[in-house]
Structures are given as structure tokens and as C-alpha cells.
Amino acid sequence: MGKLKDQLAGVAALVAAIIAIGGGFIKYGEITTKLDALQKESMKVDKVSVEAVEANKESIKSNKEDITTNGFTITDAVSVIADNGKDIAINSKEIELLKVQIEEIKISTSNPLTN
């Protein structure tokens, strides 16, 4: 009977080892499948982006020519933005001044002794 128990224990250990190894192979197969799918998808994205650039090459050239032929360059845009920033600063200070003046008028009109 002891010999039978030892043989059963040996068989159980062998089955457990086979199951563990099989589980490892299954996990390896899943990871490999996922990596292959990701690689295929990344190649599609790269191919599409390259094709998009190639397709838009002429459009990009014509836009560049339009910018230079209209005479409006990036430097012009920067100076316009800077001028707009100055105008915004001036307008915000004028608004602050007007608010202060409105408060003064409110205070002076609310005092009955000033009239």
C-alpha cells in the first residue's frame, strides 16, 4: 500500500509539473499574439501617416506659396500679436480707471450733503 501511495504522489507531482509548464506555454502564446497584433497595428499607423504626408505634399507646397505671395509672413504675425498684447494691456488699464471713476461717482451721488 505504501508503494502505491508513493507512485500516486509521483504521478500527481508529474501532472502538476506538466500543468505548470503548459500554463507557461499558454501565457507565452497569449503574449506573443498580443505583441503581433500591436506590431501590425503600429505598422498600419506608420504607413497611413506616411501616406497622408505624401498625399498632402502638394497642398503643403501651395499653402507655403500662398503665404509668401500674400506678403504676410510669420514675422508679421508675431508683430501683430505683440501689438494686440499692448492694446489689451492699455484697454485693461482703461477699464480699471473707469471702474474707479464709477465708484467715485456712486459715492458722491449717494452722499446727500454733496448737493
Give pLDDT tens digits for 37-89: 888 877 765 566 777 777 777 777 776 666 655 666 777 778 888 888 899 99
- Kindly state whether residues 35 and 83 are assigned to the same domain: no
Q: Give the number of C-alpha atoms closer than 13 A to the C-alpha of residue 87, restricted to the C-beta side.
A: 6
The answer, as to whether pTM is greater than 0.85, is: no
Number of domain units in the chain: 2
Residue for grid cell 451721488: 109
106 falls in which pLDDT band (50, 70, 90)? confident
Pull the grid cell for residue 52.
Answer: 497622408
Domain assignment of residue 17, given as a range: 1-71
* % pLDDT > 90, the chain: 14
Q: Do 60 and 113 belong together in one domain?
A: no
For residues 60 and 81, membership in a common domain is answered with no
Query: Residue for cell digits 497622408?
Result: 52
The pLDDT value recorded for residue 95 is: 92
Element (H, E) at 90: helix 74-110
Q: Among candidates 39, 21, 20, 19, which has minimal Cα distance to 31?
A: 39
Average pLDDT over all residues of the chain: 80
> In this structure, are 80 and 63 located in the same domain?
no
Instruction: Please say whether the beta carbons of 73 and 67 come within 8 A.
Output: yes
Same structural domain for residues 10 and 65? yes
